[in-house]
Amino acid sequence: MLDRNTLVKENFKKNVLKQDFPQSSCLLKPVDVGLSNSDVIDLFETQVMSRVLDLQSRVMQKKGQSFYTIGSSGHEGNAAYAKAFRPTDMAFLHYRSGAFAIQRGKQVPGETTLYDMLLSFAASKEDPISGGRHKVLGSKSLFIPPQTSTIASHLPKAVGAAFSVPLTKRINVAGEMPDDSIVICNFGDASSNHSTAQGAINAAAWAAYQSMPLPLVFVCEDNGIGISTATPQGWVAANYKNRAGLDYLYCDGLNILDTYQCAKRAEHIARTLKKPVFLHVRTVRLLGHAGSDAEFVYRELSDIEATEKQDPLLHTARILVENNILTPQQIVDIYQGLEQRIALIGEQAATRPRLTKASEVKVSILPQQSKIVNTSPQSDQQRAQLFKHDKHNLSKKQHLAKLINWTLLDLMAERPNIVMCGEDIGKKGGVYNVTSKLHQRFGSNRVINTLLDEQSILGLAIGMAHNGILPIAEIQFLAYVHNAEDQIRGEAATLPFFSNGQYTNGMVIRIAGLAYQKGFGGHFHNDNSFAVFRDIPGVIIACPSNGGDAVDMLRTCVQLAQEQQRLVIFLEPIALYMTRDLLEKGDELWAHEYLPPEQAKAPLKLGSVNSVYNGNNDANDVCIITYGNGYYLSRQAQAKLQQQSINVKVVDLRWLAPLDANEIMQAINGFYKVLIVDECRQTASISEAIVTMINENCQDKNLALPQINRITAEDCFIPLGSAATTVLPATDEIIATVLAMTASNNSDKKVTSLYERD
């Protein structure tokens, strides 16, 4: 008994020779839509290539040579709209877009798309896009950023990329795409129901409704089923046909003439009118969701057979025969010739080397590209104008929020490609006035008030980063990022990894967070956990505890994002935004002077710690490792303990990822007692990592292990009101713990090194 893969293939050949074709949905001829006979043959060959690749992948899988069988069968009509767009129009594609990638590859000389895709199936490290890390459709030369198993997660950044095309021209920044480019983004009917798709499409419509130029074509390829769940008939059209801000178009994706004609109409609207288009394309799904999908379990055989009779290759064969372009036998000959060709290429691809070492796999996590960008230092007159609203305060010490604000002012003036985006960051200046006056100085093109949707904010930033812009996105509160964490984890951070370093999206994401807001807002505003970021490979987490560090760290973060294309989380402790005093009212010990860029110190090294120690390396002294609010509390404890003749060294980590083991081990060198003060929860907090780091480093080097204690927050959400501090570390708790640690004094000798063993 033949399997369905073989049946679909054999039925195609048999039906072509019998001229048993499905009925046409329209009576168009090639000349009616501006296609020549050779164009139609070319599109048919692309469709066959895509189909045969699907079948070849399943053959290779049985031999242990291929590792991915989600194919494009039934969606081969996307070859037609690939032809309708330019190869420089950036395309964010879902996984059933094999024909699109092949057709676009034909538009650019020197491409070897068939071989490249087979290398990807085989997970060969010679795969030119991912280097064997995943089967992805992507190409730097074809303007196709790689996507993995996308379920709408690519839509927000497609909106951002489209928004960036006219934006680069308005702000006079050289983009990666030509000024008249459009962005294409396709997805399935089932994916259109995902909250991420709903948010992205809404964001595009929201912008267009306000006449913001947005040259974007959403392509919904509607095959009527999401794995095993049917899409209600008419659902997609009912949702989007009359949507404000969107131009809705429909075509029969089984008919390449109708698809091409409709796509050219969509292209005109997007490119000429700069408006977003929703192109609804009818397709079918053949051969199940993937090779492992037993479709007969949830579909009747009669339904499967009826779908197979709507094979888009049969529809194109009918066009070829009815228009006397090819004979049935010539069509079959083309199919069989491509079968043989792709089988031979597949055999070759299967022999190519794969990744064999973790070091090979990991090498692309961090971008390998370096982009040195010349800044534009401001003259004295320009800076005087820039800071005219604060000219009387520039020489005075300031709190954290003000110093971040001034740093952003200088950075945006020096780097014209910086664009900020976030909720309420415009004229309002943000919830805590951190972005005050930025909109007035740089305008709405560079300080963008977004809609209230974190997925859209991050997608906007990711998309802009694809096109030469350096985004600084703001998430209003740390807890809000959970609504959109996949944009960081699954899209931004993975881009260098899945493109073998060819695509990057350097950016800074500013997040107001952490606890100690005197009970304000409960756990949704007092979020004391950033664990969501710590396991994302390649992400930098910066957390300044004071304004002086914030200035230097933010400048370093922007430099890392721009020049090394790093993805940076800049975590700002809300409770310390307006803090000026440390020990008593008016002492100004937590306020700092602002040094303009030309007077600034050398760039702050990633991973470098800061410490304050008034002791003399006594064996009974305690070293506290902390960050953020914990550093502030520990400094208070340090002063009170010193009054009791107990000396404490307080180390501010500043950089929470990656942790620099050498810096930390050097900081505790000479101390037999180490206390970690961590305002995050006991479970999954960074203190666990630090304890492990110290233990492993001591064991690896056969060193003496210090006594280690931890103070953390409770494994609890933060309540509202005065009860908030009951679940958080406190100054008195730090003092009590240090006193307990020093009460058990084991030695009066001077400690010359942590690394001495008794």
650-659 pLDDT, tens digit per residue, is 999 999 999 9
Q: For residue 360, tell me if it sits in a domain.
A: no
CATH number, domain of 646, equals: 3.40.50.920
Q: Which pLDDT belongs to residue 525? A: 83
| 289 and 404 share one domain | no
The SS3 assignment for 592 reads strand
Whether residue 553 is found in the same domain as residue 646: no
Question: Helix 400-414 vs helix 547-563: angle between axes, to the nearest 10 degrees?
Answer: 30
Kindly tell me if the per-residue pLDDT of 505 is higher than 80: yes
Is residue 388 domain-shared with residue 497, that is, in the same domain? yes
Residue 650 to residue 634: CA distance in whole angstroms? 7
3-state secondary structure of 281: strand
Window from 261-275, 371-385, 500-514, 675-689 with minimum mean pLDDT: 371-385
What separation, in Å, do the N-terminal and C-terminal C-alpha atoms of the chain show?
77
Kindly tell me if the per-residue pLDDT of 520 is higher than 80: no
Instruction: State the pLDDT confidence band at 756, using cuts at 50, 70 and 90.
Output: very low
Q: What is the pLDDT of residue 636?
A: 98
Helix residue ranges per DSSP H, 546-685: 547-563, 628-642, 661-668
Contact 152, 192 (CB under 8 A): yes
Total number of domains constituting the chain: 3
In this structure, the answer to whether residues 71 and 210 fall within a common structural domain is yes
Query: Does any domain span residue 365?
Result: no
Three-state DSSP state, 305:
helix
Alpha carbon distance 628, 64 (integer Å):
51
Q: Which single residue is written with the structure tokens 């409709």?
A: 262
What is residue 755's predicted lDDT score, i.e. its pLDDT? Answer: 46
Among 134-143, 192-201, 346-355, 597-606, where is mean pLDDT lowest? Answer: 597-606
496 occurs within a structural domain: yes
Cis-peptide, bond into residue 367, ω within 30° of zero? no
Do the domain assignments include residue 758? no
The answer to the question of residue 495 being in a domain is yes
Please list, in sequence order, all residues whose beta carbon lies within 8 angstroms of the beta carbon of residue 83, skipping any fewer than 6 positions away: 39, 43, 103, 107, 260
Per the prediction, the chain carries an average pLDDT of 93
Asked which of 134-143, 369-378, 676-685 is least confident by mean pLDDT, the reply is 369-378
Tens-place pLDDT, residues 593-634: 999 998 887 788 999 999 999 888 788 899 999 999 999 999
Whether 124 and 242 share a structural domain: yes
∠ CA 426-654-503 to the nearest 5 degrees?
A: 65
| Boundaries of domain holding 158 | 4-352
- Give the pair of three-digit tokens for residue 39: 């164009």
d(CA 694, CA 371): 35
User: If pLDDT is split at 50, 70 and 90, which confidence band does 310 have?
Assistant: very high
Report the C-alpha gap between 638 and 617 in whole angstroms: 15
Distances (CA, A) of 246 to 206, 207, 287: 9, 10, 33
Does 200 score more than 80 pLDDT? yes
Q: Using the predicted structure, report yes or no on whether residue 259 has a pLDDT greater than 60.
A: yes
Helix, strand, coil share of the chain (percent; to 5):
45, 15, 45
Same domain, 426 and 453: yes
Write down which residue in 301, 336, 352 finishes a domain. 352
pLDDT at site 561: 96
pLDDT on residue 652: 98
Cβ-based neighbours of 486, under 8 Å, separated by 6 or more: 153, 196
Residue at token pair 């020779």:
17
Are residues 175 and 317 both part of a single domain? yes
The tally of CA atoms less than 13 A away on the side-chain side of residue 319 is: 28
The amino acid present at 426, given as its one-letter code, is G
Q: Give residue 291's identity as a one-letter amino acid code.
A: G
Indicate whether 178 belongs to any domain.
yes
Residue 378 is predicted with a pLDDT of 84
Is pLDDT above 80 for 757?
no
pLDDT the model gives residue 149: 66
pLDDT of 86 reads 98
Whole-structure pTM value: 0.94
Final residue of a structural domain among 333, 352, 371: 352
Same domain, 341 and 406: no
Closest CA to 714 of 680, 676, 675: 680
Q: Are residues 106 and 64 in the same domain?
A: yes
Strand order in the sheet with 183-188: 91-92, 183-188, 216-222, 277-282, 247-252
Instruction: Assess if residue 373 is contained within a domain.
Output: no
Query: Under DSSP, is residue 35 helix (H, G, I), strand (E, B) or coil?
Result: coil
Q: Are residues 423 and 308 in the same domain?
A: no
Q: Which residue reads 């949905």 in tokens?
A: 25
Alpha helices in 351-379 (DSSP H): 358-362
- pLDDT tens for each residue of 440-450: 999 999 999 99
- The answer to whether residue 746 scores a pLDDT higher than 80 is no
pLDDT digits (tens, 9 = 90+) for 539-581: 999 999 999 999 999 999 999 999 999 999 999 999 999 999 9
Residue 750 pLDDT greater than 70, yes or no:
no
- Per residue in 20-66, pLDDT (tens digit) is 999 987 889 999 999 999 999 999 999 999 999 999 999 999 999 99
Q: Measured between alpha carbons, how far is residue 751 from residues 82, 622, 656, 715 in Å?
A: 70, 12, 28, 36
Q: Is 76 helix (H, G, I), strand (E, B) or coil?
A: coil
Q: Is residue 174 in a domain?
A: yes
Confidence of residue 517 (pLDDT cuts 50, 70, 90): confident
How much is the pLDDT for 380?
Answer: 84
d(CA 83, CA 41): 13
Strands (E) in 102-222, as ranges, are 137-139, 144-147, 183-188, 216-222
Same domain, yes or no, for 581 and 615? Answer: no
- Say whether pLDDT at 737 is over 80: yes
Report the CATH number that the domain containing residue 177 is assigned in CATH: 3.40.50.970
- Overall average pLDDT of the 385-396 stretch: 91
Residue 758 has pLDDT above 70, yes or no: no
Strand 567-573 relative to strand 470-475, pairing: unpaired
Together in a domain, 590 and 695:
no
Q: Which of 305, 335, 352 is the last residue of a domain?
A: 352
Query: Per residue in 567-584, is it b (16+ CB within 10 Å) or e — as a string?
Result: bbbbbbbbbbbebbebee
C-alpha of 371 from chain center: 19
